[in-house]
Structure 1
Amino acid sequence: ALLKVTLLGVLLALLGERILNFCHRARFFKEVEPVDLPGCQLLKGIETGSEDIEILPNGLAFISSGLKSPNIKSFAPDKPGEILLLDLNDDGLTPAPLSISNGFDASSFNPHGISSYIDEEDGTVYLFVVNHPQLQSVIEIFRFVEEERSLVHLKSVKHELLHSVNDVLAVGPESFYATTDYYFSNDFMKAVEPFLGLMWTGVVYYSPGDVREVATGLYSGNGITISNDKQYIYASDVLGHTVNVFKKNKDWSLSSVKSVEGRYLVETCGDPVHRDIGWG
């Protein structure tokens, strides 16, 4: 009986320590100080929420909206997700949904992170979207037709290394880097994983015929972007509170340069105009 009580006490202590550790990493005890930013205004028409934004050099912005996740309250559970287009040059600032053609199943569209790639030769704009149909992970590649305000679906990318993708960084018409936010694919283990404190997620590189993990050691990979000179990759670790800087090598592998600590949970975004890296 004493042994059972001792074992139970040890298990409860271990469980309590894991829960407390997770609460600290999730910053449950941190109070976020409000910041009053001049010039900010609420965009109407995104009542279902937005996950990511990608701004083109000409001032057009793509916004992914309507993400559904077991861990996130959905404000429109029966409405498919969509990609909105916002013209930052227009004083009205009214986002409007883009139509999607070429046989794409829009009814199961569940967009997460997004990234654009502009072909330097012909100016074609490609939009890469992390899609979670039936809570799976697929990278959808579209071509943007500005005159028609539409997306033409080109390709869907699935791979066992891309089983839990959070964000994507396009580096070619068919190639990209992607962050993973969970190591396990099993639903039960995904629920337990944050409490285990494992640093097993990272960054995956994909191109036709070449798929590999190029960085690891993150609690939960999140946003990813690239420097203006295309030499450095920035990937955030939301539960590690860090922005991790990598050197992009000629073979597309990544070499760790440094890790920058943040005060709160860290995601990333990029400014294509001023080429600054902003942390959210």
Structure 2
Amino acid sequence: MAAMKKVLLAVAVATFAAFSGQRFLKLKEIMLASRQIPVKHLSCHYLQNIEYGAEDITILKDGLAFMSTGLKFPGLHSFSDEPGKMYVLDLLHPRPTPVELQISGELDLTSFNPHGISAYTDEADDSVYVFVVNHPHHNSQVEIFRYVEEDTLVHLKTITHPLLHSVNDIVAVGVESFYATNDRYFHSDALLLVAVFLDLTWCDVVFYSPHEVRMVADGLRSPNGINLSPDKRYIYVSDIMDHDIDVFERQEGEQLRYIKSVAVGSLCDNIEVDHKTGDVWLGCHPNAMKLSSYDPEDPPGSEVLRIKNIHSEKPVVSLEYADDGHVLMGSSVAAPYEGKLLIGSVFHKALYCLLK
């Protein structure tokens, strides 16, 4: 009996070791830990005033760009302990320069930690509403602001809900309604590693309105960026650990119907959509291992991808910008506007580039 127990224990240990080894290799594959990319630069310069990242950027049809800066996120590097800030940039100005937005209203700015953002223009009166994912004290909530004058955000509302437990990004579809991605199922970092290790697909997309809050898409590994097609019929979601962009069709009642996935071969963060062409632009992490284990001697690189004709049978994925981290570290968003491109990062700087 004792000999049998030893044999069973040895078999169990060997099985666990084999499983762990296989999962470790799978994790390295997900993180693209061995990936190297060619350098491909554009005509770019650093944006003034942006020193601690511009994790997300969104641009209105009139060329007004909003930026969230200074994100503090578990497991990722930060160059500053100061609270986050919001900036605005006029791309129609001869020399576009980010201007810090003043925030009025009842919001604790000492713990302001902005992440994904979205802007919505009310067609009734052209009022602009800015939605911001906020992580004060590592919590998860959404702030709604109204943009007024040239440099002010008036805080209107803070939204919290059990279903909005780990929001990464949002896309506004009304003055108080939006879709949001939850990028993790578990709250603790330890269980997050377990979820990745076991390859669990338990994350989701949630729809919020003042009248209802519900899950509208699930079965995702780690949904990150989210955005809307120009005709508002489709929702695009970056499943960052799957290395693809998921396409959903909006249904009656705001439910989402899965259409397809487009492989991109990188860990793509936020999604922006060209207002005129419908091209999908992605700020991506070519090697997430370098991003999570920040080493200034071997910095995380940056990658910008574009998807043309995403709804066709053969979407075209092209590399538009790539850097080894010596110019821009950890690109997280790429926002186009009429021949110009803004590239933001998680914790580094931001670039203003010319596409033509």
TMscore range, shorter length: over 0.9
Q: Normalising by structure 1, what TM-score?
A: 0.95
The residue aligned with 2:14 is 9
Amino acid at match of 1:24: E
SS of 1:251 mapped into structure 2: helix
Q: Does 1:275 align with 2:306?
A: no
Structure 1 counterpart of 2:59:
55
Q: Aligned runs of 1:175-190 on 2, under 5 Å?
A: 175-190=177-192
Task: Check conservation: 2:230, 2:273, Cα contact below 8 A.
Answer: no
Q: 1:112 aligns with which of 111, 115, 129?
A: 115
CA contact (8 A) 1:55 1:271 kept: no
> What SS does structure 2 have at the residue aligned with 1:13?
helix
2:137 to 119, 134, 137: 134
In the TM superposition, what whole-angstrom CA distance separates every residue of 1:202-223 from its partner, at most 9, and x where no partner exists? 2110111211111112110011
Q: Which has the higher contact order (CA 8 A, sep 6+)?
A: 2
Q: Aligned partners of 2:250 and 2:32: how far apart in 1?
A: 31
Which of residues 26, 32, 39 in structure 1 aligns to 2:31? Answer: 26
Q: Structure 1 runs of 4+ off > 6 angstroms?
A: none
- For residues 282 and 273 of structure 2, the distance between their equivalents in structure 1, rounded to whole angstroms, comes to 8
How far did 1:108 drift? 0.5
% identical aligned pairs: 47
Aligned-pair distance for 1:87?
Answer: 1.4
Q: 8 Å contact 1:53–1:64 — kept in the other structure? A: yes
Coordinate RMSD, CA, aligned: 1.4
- Which sits farther off after the overlay, 22-31 or 164-173? 22-31
1:225 is matched with 227
The answer to whether residue 94 in structure 2 is matched with residue 91 in structure 1 is: yes
Cα pair 1:169 1:176 within 8 Å, conserved: yes
1:150 is matched with 152
Q: 5+ residue gaps in structure 2?
A: 1-5, 284-356
* 8 Å CA contact retained: 2:99, 2:151: no
Aligned-residue offset at 1:269: 1.7
Q: Distance in 2 between matches of 1:194 and 1:4?
A: 26
Q: TM-score, normalised by structure 2?
A: 0.75
| Deviation of 1:200 (Å) | 1.2
Q: CA deviation at 1:17?
A: 1.4
Q: Using the TM superposition, give the Cα deviation of residue 148 of structure 1 relative to its aligned residue in structure 2, in angstroms.
A: 4.2
Whole-angstrom distance in 2 between the partners of 1:200 and 1:230:
26
Deviations 1:83-119 (A, max 9, x none): 1111112232221210100121111011110001100
C-alpha separation between the residues in 1 aligned to 2:245 and 2:198? 21
Q: Provide the rounded CA distance (Å) in 2 between the counterparts of 1:84 and 1:167.
A: 17
Question: Aligned partners of 1:91 and 1:11: how far apart in 2?
Answer: 62
What is aligned with 1:202?
A: 204
Equivalences for 1:35-74 in 2 at 5 Å?
35-37=40-42, 39-74=43-78
Supply the AA of the counterpart residue of 1:61. Answer: A
Q: What is residue 195 of structure 2 aligned with on the other side? A: 193
Residue 102 (1) aligns with residue 105 (2): yes
Deviations 1:209-265 (A, max 9, x none): 211111112110011111111111111100001111111012100111111111111
Look up the equivalent residue of 1:129 and give its one-letter code.
V
Partner of 1:244: 246
Contact conserved, 2:117 with 2:131, CA < 8 A, in 1?
A: yes
Paired residues, number: 277
| Whole-angstrom distance in 1 between the partners of 2:151 and 2:75 | 32
Structure 1, unmatched stretches of 5+, are none
Say if 1:48 and 1:245 are closer, same or farther in 2 by CA, change over 3 A: same
Tell me how far apart the structure 2 counterparts of residues 6 and 236 of structure 1 sit (CA, whole Å).
40
- Tell me, in whole angstroms, the C-alpha distance in 2 between the residues paired with 1:126 and 1:164: 22
- Residues 155-214 of structure 1: CA deviation (Å, up to 9, x unaligned): 111111111111000000110000111011234212322222111112110111211111
